Amino acid sequence: MGSFYTNVTLRGPDQEAVAEYLAGRNRQVLVSPTVDGVTVVYDALTESQDTRMLTNLARELSAQFDCVALAALNHDDDVLWLQLSVDGRLVDEYTSAPGYFSGDAATKPEGGDAEVLCEAFQAEDARAHAERVLRREQDMAGYFTASDRHTELAEALGIPPALVTTGYRYLTHGETPDGFQPQDFIHTGPVPRTAAMAPQGPGWPGGGPEPPPPGGPTGASGPPPGGGVVHIGPAPGAGCCGCLLAPLLLPLGVLLSALSARLLRQQAEGMRDEER
């Protein structure tokens, strides 16, 4: 099974400003630290792999901060899909395997303007490199996975690869990118419910059914209810054994308390019997 992730890379606004805005929107996300002017947003809802939701989020953030926003989706490490928005306007789109969902694995990458991408991220000198990354096919002679392509493109654009080759589910299950600490990330919106974040079944990181193809319906109409509070670090209880053991520890604690109380009563009764 390959990787499944979504994210939006912003050039311009810093982590605190982005987190404050998304908290006000009650959006359930993680926001990366700002590195060389780049901040990455990992949204819980877009992990459904619905490109329409990802497009809307990227354009909203791009318009809000008058900045560049690069939406990215990796589907099973077979497809890398990108959309570039500038100041709220969609200016470029790319897919590494346009025929993937129609069963035509032989189709070559489509879209993607290396000049526009490099200009957006102020990496004009990397135009030739970015063009090679976009056009190279995914096969034994090219890229083995979509993550490999995404990694090299990020390097060409001056984006930390470790920050863009992951998503909300990985981060909230304790998979922190190399070179970063959990406390480097800010979580906003409702705290994820562990059971909902790790359903049973194959095909999805952490379990659960395989997500729909890009553009597929999700049935979600907006962010889940919550207080829109900013949490420093990953969502509380996420990515650790505590989130899995917590449901067991509470009843265990109640049981131990009851046993302790019973033992104390027995000891007290024994002392009274001895006194008689």
Q: Which residue has the higher pLDDT, 143 or 131?
A: 131
Q: What is the pLDDT of residue 140?
A: 62
User: What are 144-181's pLDDT values in tens digits?
Assistant: 899 999 999 999 999 999 999 999 999 999 899 999 99
User: What are 48-61's pLDDT values in tens digits?
Assistant: 999 999 999 999 99
- Model confidence at 106: pLDDT above 80: no
Q: What is the pLDDT of residue 272?
A: 52
How far is the C-alpha of 171 from the C-alpha of 208, rounded, in Å?
16
- Model confidence at 258: pLDDT above 80: no
How far is the C-alpha of 88 from the C-alpha of 175, rounded, in Å?
31
Give the helix ranges, DSSP H, for the chain.
15-24, 51-65, 114-120, 127-135, 146-157, 161-164, 168-172, 194-197, 241-275
- Model confidence at 112: pLDDT above 90: yes
> What is the biggest distance separating any 2 CA atoms in the chain, rounded to whole angstroms?
96
Residue 220 neighbours by CB under 8 Å, 6+ apart: 45, 48, 50, 53
Q: What is the pLDDT of residue 259?
A: 47
**Average pLDDT for the chain:** 77
* Confidence tier at 213 by pLDDT (50, 70, 90): very low
CA end-to-end distance (rounded Å), the chain: 72
How far is the C-alpha of 234 from the C-alpha of 30, rounded, in Å?
7
Percent of the chain scoring above 70 in pLDDT: 67
Question: 21-27: long-range contacts at Cβ-Cβ below 8 A with a sequence spacing of 24 or more?
Answer: 21/61, 21/64, 21/65, 22/188, 22/189, 23/188, 23/189, 23/228, 23/229, 23/230, 24/228, 25/223, 25/228, 26/189, 26/190, 26/223, 26/225, 26/226, 26/227, 26/228, 27/188, 27/189, 27/223, 27/228
Q: What is the pLDDT of residue 240?
A: 37
Domain residue ranges in the chain: 4-232, 241-276
* Mean pLDDT, residues 204-216 taken together: 37
